[in-house]
């Protein structure tokens, strides 16, 4: 694999190797890709959780279990006040 990193990232890679933290460009690229994969996996987990919560909210609304907008904001404000006074 051949990748053009550009001057800024190329300098960053050089500095990391010179610092002794990494032994090679490949090691740095693997670490960067591992971190990127970890971040993408976390995004998927969060997105799936949001989708699950939306489905639950739709089911609750279909059953008539909902609160109108002004009441929802009152409840949010009350919870916020309780947390800040605890």
| pLDDT tens for each residue of 46-84 | 999 999 999 999 999 999 998 888 998 998 899 887 776
Q: Supply the pLDDT for residue 8.
A: 97
Q: Supply the pLDDT for residue 53.
A: 95
Q: Supply the pLDDT for residue 49.
A: 97
In the chain, which residue ranges form alpha helices assigned H by DSSP?
6-19, 25-62, 69-85
Q: Supply the pLDDT for residue 59.
A: 96
The whole model's pTM is what? Answer: 0.66
Q: What percent of the chain has pLDDT over 70?
A: 97
| pLDDT tens for each residue of 17-27 | 999 999 999 99
| Residue 17 exposed, middle or buried by CB count within 10 Å (0-12, 13-18, 19+) | middle
Q: Supply the pLDDT for residue 1.
A: 78
Domain layout of the chain by residue ranges: 6-85
């Amino acid at each position: 694999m051949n990748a053009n990193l550009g001057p800024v990232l190329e300098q960053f890679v050089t500095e990391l190797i010179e610092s002794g933290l990494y032994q090679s460009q490949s090691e740095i690229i693997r670490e960067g890709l591992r971190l990127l994969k970890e971040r993408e996996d976390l995004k998927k987990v969060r997105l799936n959780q949001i989708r699950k919560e939306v489905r639950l909210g739709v089911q609750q609304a279909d059953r008539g279990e909902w609160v109108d907008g002004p009441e929802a904001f009152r409840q949010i404000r009350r919870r916020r006040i309780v947390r800040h006074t605890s």
